[in-house]
Structure 1
Amino acid sequence: MPHTAHGHQHDSQAEILDLDAEVLAEHTSSITAWLPVTAAPVQIVDLGSGTGAGTFALLARFPEAQVTAVDSSADHLHRLREKAREDGRADRVRTVQADLDGQWPDLGEPDLVWASASLHHMADPGGTLRQVHDLLTPGGLFAVVELAGFPRFLPDAAPEYRPGLEQRCHEASERHHATHVPHRGADWGPMLTAAGFALEGERTIAVNIENARSAAVGRYALSSLRRMRGSVTGELSAEDLAALDELLDTDGPRSILRRADLAVRTERAVWAARRPNR
């Protein structure tokens, strides 16, 4: 049986998050360096931490800080704790398993809250922003980071036997997510202001990693396209689905892992908002 999307139940969200962290590490560090902090934070909360991309970037940026990582997935938090233990930072990390659409746990009084690629999943984003506002110490900073959908990996004319396939996959995925994840791609600035924050900075970071020949980029492309396939099955033609499955067949001659022309292209939008001192 070819190793396509259908045969990879073990290809988990946690693996994609780990690859995302590895491939985009430099860009994540640039975001933490840009944050308009007035004093080095001591208590940080990472909302929707996943396997820890933001947590570890924040630990590196603020060496005196403690980070509370919050996620609904026990698997994600287990991986995060293992990484913290392996690199000697377990004493600076606390994990809390919680569904933030429900009752919020006690998260202390942080002076920085970080939410990367998590707010658009919330059932009531406005309510979440108000919760964060009340959670932060007066004068504390809230950093919101969002990716503009799935990254792109192939040249526009690729694959040669089905040019433009990735573009059509993205268009189909966007139609699907417009219904199922309506807040993806939202402008969080006005919502932050409405929740009582003072917006202190906003930027868009273009990610364009060309000639990306590392094994991690190939696995990242494979995992991302596998995940995308689940949302585009009913939207693409049979010919496009067949071509996509050839890219995802790791044993086949057209596997995406065999391509030498991969890149990573996406955008990350960042907002920095402060809870007023008053």
Structure 2
Amino acid sequence: MTPSHQHTPHHGERGQAEILDLDAEVLAEHTASITAWLPLKSEPRRIVDLGCGTGAGTFALLERFPDAHVTAVDTSAGHLQLLREKACARGTERRVRTVQADLDSDSWPDLGTPDLVWASASMHHMADPDRALTGVRELLAPGGLFAIVELAGFPRFLPPGAPESRPGLEERAHAATDSFHAEHVPHRGADWGPMLTAAGFTVEGERTVTVTIEGGRSEAVGRYAYGSLQRVRGAAAPALSPEDLAALDELLDISSPTSLLRREDLAVRTERTVWAARRA
């Protein structure tokens, strides 16, 4: 889903891949609704998934457009290998090409002339978003569509009064990561509409979807919360009080009776915004 996925320091690629897979599983229904909403003039045959991660968008697009072929692009060889394995398991390997590329480089590899470019949770990682937008505009076939999908920050999982020992801990942990994210992912939460217009696109649709998924609906929610807050801890730890850090560690201790994995009051709460733009 992103070119680098570096939300927090010292987080291994395997852990990133696991979070991406959980993200895909938990948000699958919402991803499908976005692919169905896209203001397309005809069904795309050639699709590029920029910053594809382990394939959440790739497989949603293959399912939505059964005659399409997807070129999946990411910097991570490990993520692309996982994507290829999934394609083989699903019998869609002939409809997927993987390309390892750094989208922040001066020149992109040949990605064909796609009818649709999809970028989910990847544009905010670009070091130079304006250059990346120009690259997409030059890539697209005439009349082609560019879809940017972004989460409004990190999902929230705990109810406001939790944990009982330190109510409001989750919000304080996220606040403690603000300076890290301001430095490393300054475009997170950006409004892509004006940037798309400036890059020579016409924005044809913008939609914000409020996401609320109760933990009871999917056991993956607990694992998603656990992996996500593990990542938050890496960036938040230096700025958290000792009491908050201890409470966070207790939530992340799988042997603790109050572990996140044992809670029954978790939910995924976030917003997803999608911008659909055409070459002007």
Q: Normalising to structure 2: TM-score of the pair?
A: 0.94
Which residue, out of 48, 53, 58, partners 1:55? Answer: 58
Q: 3-state DSSP class of the match of 2:239?
A: coil
Q: Quote the residue 1:15 is aligned against.
A: 18
Q: 3-state DSSP class of the match of 2:238?
A: coil
State the Cα distance separating 1:214 from its structure 2 match.
Answer: 2.9
Q: Quote the residue 2:5 is aligned against.
A: none
Contact conserved, 1:213 with 1:262, CA < 8 A, in 2?
A: no
Separation in structure 2 between the aligned mates of residue 177 and residue 65 of structure 1, nearest angstrom: 36
Task: Give 2:85's aligned amino acid.
Answer: E
Pairing 1:243–2:211 present: no
Contact conserved, 2:215 with 2:222, CA < 8 A, in 1?
A: no
State the Cα distance separating 1:211 from its structure 2 match.
Answer: 4.3
Separation in structure 2 between the aligned mates of residue 250 and residue 185 of structure 1, nearest angstrom: 32
**Percent of paired sites with the same residue:** 72
Pairing 1:169–2:178 present: no
Coordinate RMSD, CA, aligned? 1.7
Pairing 1:230–2:223 present: no
CA distance change for structure 1 residues 185 and 137 in 2, over 3 Å: closer, same or farther?
Answer: same
State the Cα distance separating 1:8 from its structure 2 match.
Answer: 8.7
Which residue, out of 135, 140, 155, partners 2:139? Answer: 135
Pairing 1:254–2:258 present: yes
Which residue, out of 3, 28, 34, partners 2:37? Answer: 34
Pairing 1:74–2:77 present: yes
State the Cα distance separating 1:171 from its structure 2 match.
Answer: 1.4
Q: Normalising to structure 1: TM-score of the pair?
A: 0.95
State the Cα distance separating 1:199 from its structure 2 match.
Answer: 0.5
State the Cα distance separating 1:179 from its structure 2 match.
Answer: 2.2
Separation in structure 1 between the aligned mates of residue 168 and residue 104 of structure 2, nearest angstrom: 38
Q: Quote the residue 2:273 is aligned against.
A: 269
Separation in structure 2 between the aligned mates of residue 29 and residue 153 of structure 1, nearest angstrom: 22
Q: Deviations over 1:82-106 (max 9, x none)?
A: 1110011001000000011113100
Q: 3-state DSSP class of the match of 2:170?
A: helix
Q: Deviations over 1:34-63 (max 9, x none)?
A: 000000000000000000000001001111
State the Cα distance separating 1:10 from its structure 2 match.
Answer: 7.6
Q: Quote the residue 2:198 is aligned against.
A: 194
State the Cα distance separating 1:209 from its structure 2 match.
Answer: 1.0
Separation in structure 1 between the aligned mates of residue 258 and residue 142 of structure 2, nearest angstrom: 55
Task: Give 1:53's aligned amino acid.
Answer: A
Separation in structure 1 between the aligned mates of residue 238 and residue 11 of structure 2, nearest angstrom: 19
Pairing 1:156–2:171 present: no
Separation in structure 1 between the aligned mates of residue 94 and residue 180 of structure 2, nearest angstrom: 42
State the Cα distance separating 1:28 from its structure 2 match.
Answer: 0.2
Q: Quote the residue 1:4 is aligned against.
A: none
Separation in structure 1 between the aligned mates of residue 12 and residue 55 of structure 2, nearest angstrom: 22
Q: Quote the residue 1:3 is aligned against.
A: none
* Number of residue equivalences: 272
Task: Give 2:93's aligned amino acid.
Answer: A
Contact conserved, 2:215 with 2:221, CA < 8 A, in 1?
A: no
After TM superposition, what 4+ stretches of structure 1 lie above 4 angstroms from structure 2?
Answer: 7-11
Separation in structure 1 between the aligned mates of residue 179 and residue 273 of structure 2, nearest angstrom: 21
State the Cα distance separating 1:109 from its structure 2 match.
Answer: 0.4
Q: Deviations over 1:136-186 (max 9, x none)?
A: 011000000001111110000000011100011121223321222110000
Task: Give 2:191's aligned amino acid.
Answer: D
Contact conserved, 1:213 with 1:260, CA < 8 A, in 2?
A: no
Pairing 1:109–2:122 present: no
Contact conserved, 1:71 with 1:98, CA < 8 A, in 2?
A: yes
Q: 3-state DSSP class of the match of 2:216?
A: coil
CA distance change for structure 1 residues 9 and 192 in 2, over 3 Å: closer, same or farther?
Answer: closer
Separation in structure 2 between the aligned mates of residue 135 and residue 211 of structure 1, nearest angstrom: 40
